[in-house]
Structure 1
Amino acid sequence: MKTLLVLLGPTGVGKTDLSIELARHYRTSVISCDSRQIYKEMNIGTAVPEREQLAAVPHFFIQTVSVRDYFNCWEFEQQALRKIRELFEERDVVVMAGGSMMYIDAVCKGIDEMPTIDDEVRASVKEMFERDGIEASRMLLKKLDPEWYARVDLKNGKRVMHALEVCLMTGKPYSSFLTRTVKEREFNIVKIGLNREREELFDRINRRVDIMVESGMEEEARALYPLRHLNALNTVGYKEWFDYFDGKFDREEAIRLIKRNTRRYAKKQLTWYRNDPDIHWFHPSQKEEIRSILNSLILD
C-alpha cells in the first residue's frame, strides 16, 4: 500500500536532515509542511533548508507562494494531496516533513472547506481591526459566533479576523463550518515525531537564532518591513524585528524576544502533538530505532 511518511516535531529539533536521509533511503521526494517556508520572500527567518539540502532530493512547497498572495490550510491540503498522489504514481513512499500543526492535520485528516472571502469583506474586517483594535473585533465575533468566541485564541488577531470574515461573508457562524469529520485517505499514514530534552531543544533554538542573525536575518526583515501588514509576516522572527524598527525596544531585546517566542512556539507545537496517539516518538539520534519501526509499519 502507498505510504505517506510524516516526519514532525517542534521547531529546531532537526527534522530537515532526517527527512532527506529518509527520502534518499526510499528514493522519493519531500513534501514540505511548513506554513512559512512556503513563502518566496521569507528565507533566513524561516530556516529554509540550504541549497545543498534542497538539491539532495526533490522538495515541494518551499518558497512557492508570495507573501502578497492569500494562502491557507485548505489550499495547502488540496495542492499537497494532488502532488502526493502524483508522486505515488512512481513510488510507494512519500516523505512529508514539517512542524506546522494545522497543515499536517489538513493532509492527514482533512479540514472543512471554507467559503471564499471576497476582497471587499476582507478589507472591511482589516480596516476595523486597524482602526478600532482587536477588542472591537473580539466583541463583534462574540455577537456573531459566541461558540467560536469561547474556543478561539482571542489573542490571535489573525484567527479572530478570519472567523469574522466568514461570518460576514456568509451570514452564518464560523463554527457552523467546522464539522471536525476526519476524511479517509486512500493511502497509509505513518507519523514519526522527533523531540529532545527541553534544555537541549531550547539551546538549539537559541543557537539557531544567533546563526540566523549572523546570516542577515535583520536585513531580510528590514526589506520586508513595508509589507509588515500582511498576514504571512505576522510571525515569530519577523514581527519582533518590525517592532524594533518601530522603536518599541532595542536590537538586543528583539533578538531575545525572537528566542523566547520561538521557544514558546515549540512548546505549543508539542502540546498540539500530544493529542495525536498515532505519533511514534524518537530522539533524532535514534536512527536505527526509527528505521526498524518504519520497516515494520511500511512493509507490513
Structure 2
Amino acid sequence: MTTTTPPTLLVLLGPTGVGKTALSLRLAERLGSPILSADSRQIYRGMPIGTAAPTADERARVTHYFVDLLDPAEPYSAARYETDALALLTTLFTTHAAVLLTGGSMMYIDAVCQGIDDIPTVPTDIRAAVMADYERLGLDALLDELRQADPVHFAEVDRCNPRRVIHAVEICRTAGRPYSDFRTRTVKVRPFRILKIGLVRPREELFRRIDARVDQMMADGLLSEARALYPQRHLNALNTVGYKELFQHFDGQLSLDEAVARIKRNTRVYARKQQTWFHRDPSITWFHPDDMAHILRFLDEVL
C-alpha cells in the first residue's frame, strides 16, 4: 500500500523582538516557501513602523502573505484569518511540500493550527458603543453587564484585563447570547502536518532588544506615522502598543519621553504574555535565534 506524506506547515513563533523576521527569511529561502504572517496588526496598511512589518526589500526577497492588505477601519478577526489562511494553504500545498507561517499573534497561530470557535464578527457600531461605555462608565460597569449576560464566562475571565472583558461584552451584544456558548475549545484536525519552532532569549537580553527596537522605530519615523493615524485613533486596529501611547502624547497626557518609556514598558509586558501563552504548548521545540546550526539540523531530521 502506498502512503502519501502530508504537506508540512512550519510555524516559527516567539515573543515580539526575539528575532523572528531575520530567521524566517532564511528558513523560507531554504524551504523555497513564501511566508504567511500571523500578526494581527501587520495585516493593516499604513502601519509599517509600529508593527515592525517586513520591509519592501524583505518582501522582494521572499513573498509574504497577510501583510499590508486592509484599511485599519476594516474589522478582521482570528476566525477570519483561520478561513483565509486555510484557503491559501490549500493552494500553496499543491506546489510546496512545506510552507512557513510566522508571527507572534497567539490567537492567529492557534486558529490555523487547531481551529478557533465560531465566534461572530463584531460590527463596528457595537464595538464603538462598548468602547464608549468603557471610557464613560469604566471597567466595573462592563463587568456587571458581563455578569448578567454570561455568568459562566464572568466567573473565569481575567477581570484585570479590559480587552478580554470588552471582547466578551461585544460578543454578548452581537449575538444576543452568552459568549461562553461559543467557546467549545474543540481542536480541529488539519490535513497537513504541523511543526512548531519557538524562539527564546534570556529575559534581560530580550528586554534590551525590545528597548533598542523602540528607539529604532522612533528614529525611523514612528512619531510621524502615529500622527498620520491619529484621526483614526478610535479604531480597534490602532488600540495597540506603540500607537496608543503616542496618541496620549498628542492628547497632552504624556510627554514624548514618557510615551516612549511607556511603549518600552508595555512591549515588555506583552512579550511576557506571549511567552506565557506559548510555553503552555508542549509541541513547540525551542531554540535561541542565533543557534542556526541546531535549527537546521532539527529541520533536516523532521522534514
TM range (shorter): over 0.9
Cα distance, 1:162 vs structure 2: 2.5
Match of 1:218 among 213, 220, 223: 223
Q: Matched residues in 2 for 1:245 and 1:124: separation?
A: 23
Q: Is the 8 Å Cα contact of residues 150 and 178 (structure 2) preserved in structure 1?
A: yes
Q: What is residue 81 of structure 1 aligned with on the other side? A: 86
Residues 247 and 62 (structure 1 numbering): CA distance in 2 closer, same or farther, change over 3 Å? same
The whole-number CA distance in structure 2 between the counterparts of 1:123 and 1:99 is 26
Residue 180 of structure 1 aligns to a residue whose secondary structure is: coil
Structure 2 residue 274 is matched with structure 1 residue 273? no
Q: 1:249-295 CA deviation, whole Å, 9 max, x = no partner? A: 21111111111111111111000011000000000111111111112
**Alignment gaps of 5+ in structure 1:** none
Kindly indicate whether residue 114 of structure 2 is the aligned counterpart of residue 109 of structure 1: yes
1:189 pairs, out of 168, 191, 194, with: 194
**2:39 pairs with 34, 39, 42, which one?**
34
In percent, how many aligned pairs have the same letter?
52
Structure 2 spans left out of the alignment, 5+ residues: 1-5
1:283 aligns with 2:283: no
CA distance 1:214–1:112, shift in 2 (3 Å): same
Partner of 1:253: 258
User: 1:98 and 1:120 mapped to 2: Cα distance?
Assistant: 29
Give, in whole Å, the separation in 2 of the partners of 1:239 and 1:137: 21
Q: Which runs of 4+ in 1 moved over 6 A?
A: none
Contact residue 4 and residue 95 of structure 1 kept, 8 A: yes
SS at match of 2:224: helix
Change in 2 beyond 3 A, CA 1:51/1:116 = closer
SS at match of 2:45: coil
The residue number in structure 2 matching 1:149 is 154
Note the C-alpha offset of 1:193. Answer: 0.4
Q: Distance in 2 between matches of 1:253 and 1:168?
A: 36
Alpha-carbon distance, 1:116 to partner: 4.0
User: TM-score under structure 1 normalisation?
Assistant: 0.95
Superposed counterparts of 1:95-134, under 5 Å: 95-118=100-123, 121-134=126-139
Deviations 1:70-114 (A, max 9, x none): 111100111011111111011100000111111100100100111
Take 1:122 and 1:263, find their aligned partners in 2: how far apart are those partners?
27
* 1:208 aligned residue: 213
For 1:47 and 1:233, the matched residues in 2 are separated by 14
1:168 pairs with 2:180: no
> Would you say 1:244 and 2:239 are equivalent positions?
no
Per the alignment, in what secondary structure is the counterpart of residue 179 of structure 1?
coil
CA contact (8 A) 1:39 1:63 kept: yes
Please state whether the residue corresponding to 1:46 is helix, strand or coil: coil
Q: Which amino acid in structure 2 is aligned with residue 75 of structure 1?
A: R
Which amino acid in the other structure matches residue 94 of structure 2? E
Among 96, 111, 115, the alignment partner of 1:91 is 96
In the alignment, the residues of structure 1 paired with residue 11 and residue 51 of structure 2 have an alpha-carbon distance, to the nearest angstrom, of 20
Larger mean CA deviation between 131-140 and 94-103 belongs to 131-140
Deviations 1:100-137 (A, max 9, x none): 11110010010011124445544543443343233211
CA-to-aligned-CA distance 1:227-256 (integer Å, 9 cap, x gap): 111111111111110111111121111111
Q: Kindly tell me: are residues 122 and 284 of structure 1, through their superposed partners in 2, closer, same or farther at Cα, counting changes over 3 Å?
A: closer
- Report the AA paired with residue 194 of structure 1: L
- Residues in 1 aligned to 2:240 and 2:178: alpha-carbon distance in whole angstroms: 27
Moved more, 113-122 or 146-155: 113-122
C-alpha distance in 1 between matches for 2:270 and 2:188: 27
From the superposition, tell whether residues 118 and 249 of structure 1 become closer, same or farther in structure 2 (CA, over 3 Å). closer
On the 8 A contact 1:158/1:231 being kept in 2, the answer is no
User: TM-score w.r.t. structure 2 length?
Assistant: 0.94
Q: Secondary structure at the match of 1:45?
A: coil
The alignment's C-alpha RMSD in Å is 1.4
Aligned to 2:55: 50
Which one-letter code corresponds to 2:258 in the other structure?
E
- Cα pair distance change 1:45/1:297, threshold 3 Å: same
Moved more, 181-190 or 160-169: 160-169
* Aligned equivalents of 1:119, 1:281: Cα separation in 2: 39
Count matched residues: 298
